[in-house]
Amino acid sequence: MGERGQIFVKSTKVYIYTHWGGPELLQNVHAAMQWGRMHDEEYFTRALIQEVAGPKSETGSGVGTEIHGDLDWPVVIVDHAAGTIGLGPSSYGCGEDYEKMITPVKTWTFEEFKKISDIEMVAAHVLGLDDSNNAENS
């Protein structure tokens, strides 16, 4: 039970895990981009961790080097080499094909993603949580 999700920082092979925040991962990435230094892997990874972890807490999030096999939400992929934010496929149906889970089915450049004004609408559209077909950058 939970709303498990992960952000994968491809260049460092770091996975940022949330137990309850899967639906907000795209918003977390968007918020971290507003901090600046999104092209600096170390600083941006720290911003991502802080956005996902939130206030000091013993449980609910973590940082690791492996993908979880029981995710409820698609993996968000940060690729510094390509300068893109990607969204993997639904983890349902991927089985143990972890490589497939970190292969984006939708991507934005860093600049495109940072400029999105209604990230919640885009997340809902991309994740199939609404019926609109006019989401920005979809």
- For the stretch 72-115, pLDDT in tens is 889 999 999 999 999 988 766 566 677 888 889 889 999 888 88
Cβ distance 107 to 36 under 8 Å? no
On the question of pLDDT at 68 being above 70, the answer is yes
Q: Give the pLDDT band (50/70/90) at residue 134.
A: very low
What pLDDT shows up at residue 114?
Answer: 83
3-state secondary structure the chain: CCCCEEEEECCCCEEEEECCCHHHHHHHHHHHHCCCCCCCHHHHHHHHHHHHHCCCCCCCEEEECCCCCCCCCCCEEEECCCCEEEECCCCCCCCCCHHHHCCCCEEEEHHHHHHCCCHHHHHHHHCCCCCCCCCCCC
Of 9-23, 26-40, 96-110, 122-136, which one has max mean pLDDT? 9-23
What pLDDT shows up at residue 16?
Answer: 95
Q: How far apart are CA 114 and CA 62, in angstroms?
A: 24
Residue 104 Cα distances to 2, 29, 56, 67, 85, angstroms: 23, 15, 31, 15, 9
Q: How far apart are CA 75 and CA 61, in angstroms?
A: 15
